[in-house]
Amino acid sequence: MSLIQLLDFKALGDSRGQLFSIEGSKNIPFEVKRIYYMFDMEKSTPRGFHAHKELKQVAICVKGSFKMLLDDGTHKHEVVLDKPNTGIVIDKLIWHEMHDFSDDCILMVIANDYYDENDYLRSYETFIGYLGDL
């Protein structure tokens, strides 16, 4: 599986505006159990800095832009998200960091499970150690 998996959502619209439909197990590669969004982030304050043992997510920059670093413990890739019709899959066991938020950034995240603190790997050293134990 590629570290970078971008999803392109089909625009449904006309001169009145655009609409993007998000459907679990259709254009999102899993059943959706949780959606959250972030806004008013400080450009100079990065977020993320964790991985999940089992959780899978799709991040969509609904407005504005930000940079996301994805790391599987071997390869690192940075992607700019700046289109509301593009989502990026954050698979389980992918370290991710988000930074350089535009002033108007709205980031929506769609997850395949409910919040569970025990699913988090919150330090890079713990993440690498966990991968080594698999």
The beta strand positions in 1-134, using DSSP E, are 6-8, 11-14, 17-20, 34-39, 47-52, 57-63, 66-71, 76-81, 86-90, 95-99, 106-111, 120-121
* 39, part of any domain: yes
Q: Is residue 50 part of a domain?
A: yes
- The model's pLDDT over 79-110, given as tens digits with 9 standing for 90+, comes to 999 999 999 999 999 999 999 999 999 999 99
Which residues of the chain, if any, have pLDDT below 50?
Answer: none
Given the residues 50, 75, 77, 96, the one annotated as active site: 50
Between CA 60 and CA 45 the distance in angstroms is: 19
Q: What is the CATH number of the domain that holds 95?
A: 2.60.120.10
The answer, as to whether pTM is greater than 0.85, is: yes
Q: How many domains does the chain have?
A: 1
96 is catalytic: no
Structural domain includes residue 110 = yes
Inside any domain, residue 53 = yes
Does 88 map to a domain?
A: yes
Is there a domain that residue 1 lies in? no
Give the domain range for residue 72: 6-133
